Amino acid sequence: MATIWVYSITSVFIVSLLSLVGVFTIFTEESRFRKWVYYLVALSVGALLGDVFIHIIPEILENSQNVVLTSTYILIGILLFFILEKFLHWRHSHGCENENCPTHPLGGVAPVGKIILVSDSLHNFIDGIIIGASYLASLPIGLATTLAVVMHEIPQELGNFGVLIHSGYDRNKALFYNFLSALFAVLGVLIPLFLFSAAEVLVSIVLPVAAGGFVYIAGSDLIPELHKEIAFKKSLGQFVFILLGILLMYAFLLLE
């Protein structure tokens, strides 16, 4: 059992460190990096939607005892993130109702930056549960699952970093908060290690809720941001990066 603990904890720390992938952008000039932010947002759209429709939904439906209930959890996730964003908008505007309220990153941190952190924390928490449960099944399955999660997280964490920058965080804060959300994987891995019987039930509820949150973020926050860029060449580039995010999710099916 001690070996399982060592491998599980080590694996989730490695996965958590992937949230620091944005550190490589520090060596890029601020002005040049800003030009690429929209493409990172587009990559995040593709990664989020690809993750939901290629990985999460097929997995939860395959293991679901009640498809309608599972679909309801997805809808609950969408509604919960709608309510969360409303709450953040209210706090963001400080009760102001005129046109000069700070609703853009230039006036502070946009709500989408905060909800991407919440949703990613949920997702990382679930990754931790899955990794821990996989190691309890067998060491090879745990290692394979960890590799799949690592490959799967790289484009998503890079995209999330771009969203945080676009929302108004500077690069240092974006790295720090993204890493904090990644540490939820450490909390998640403790669930199956301590309470294996509760892990499956928790995943069956939290995973579809997280999927609903991802759909909401991609559809209501990120895609509208991409539509603010209307130049044909840049719009085509955004579309390519969305496809790239989706194709990467397809490619990771080979590791499962």
pLDDT tens track for 96-152: 444 444 444 334 667 778 888 887 888 788 788 878 876 876 677 677 667 667 756
Cβ atoms within 10 Å, residue 21 = 18
Scored b (16 or more CB within 10 A) or e, 243-254 reads ebbbebbeebee
Asked whether the beta carbons of 46 and 246 are under 8 A apart, the reply is yes
Burial of 190 per CB tally in 10 Å (0-12, 13-18, 19+): middle
Secondary structure tally for the chain: helices H, strands E? 11, 0
SS3 227: coil
Note the pLDDT of residue 103.
41
For helices 2-17 and 111-137, what crossing angle results, to 10°? Answer: 150
Asked whether the beta carbons of 24 and 202 are under 8 A apart, the reply is no
For residue 197, the surrounding DSSP H or E stretch is helix 196-216
Amino acid at 206: V
pLDDT class of 222 with cuts at 50, 70, 90 = confident
- Give the range with max mean pLDDT: 76-80, 81-85, 171-175: 76-80
Residue 216 has pLDDT above 50, yes or no: yes
Please report, rounded to a whole number, the percentage of residues in the chain having pLDDT higher than 90: 10
Q: Determine the Cα–Cα distance for residues 160 and 48; give it in Å rounded to an integer.
A: 10
Token digits of residue 119? 């949703």
- Backbone φ and ψ of 220, nearest 5°: -100, -20
Better-scored residue on pLDDT, 202 or 7: 7
pLDDT class of 28 with cuts at 50, 70, 90 = low
Please give the model's pTM, rounded to 2 decimal places. Answer: 0.67
Cβ atoms within 10 Å, residue 210 = 27
Dihedral sign, Cα of residue 168, residue 236, residue 116, residue 172:
negative
For residue 53, the surrounding DSSP H or E stretch is none
Nearest to 209 by CA among 119, 130, 93, 133: 119
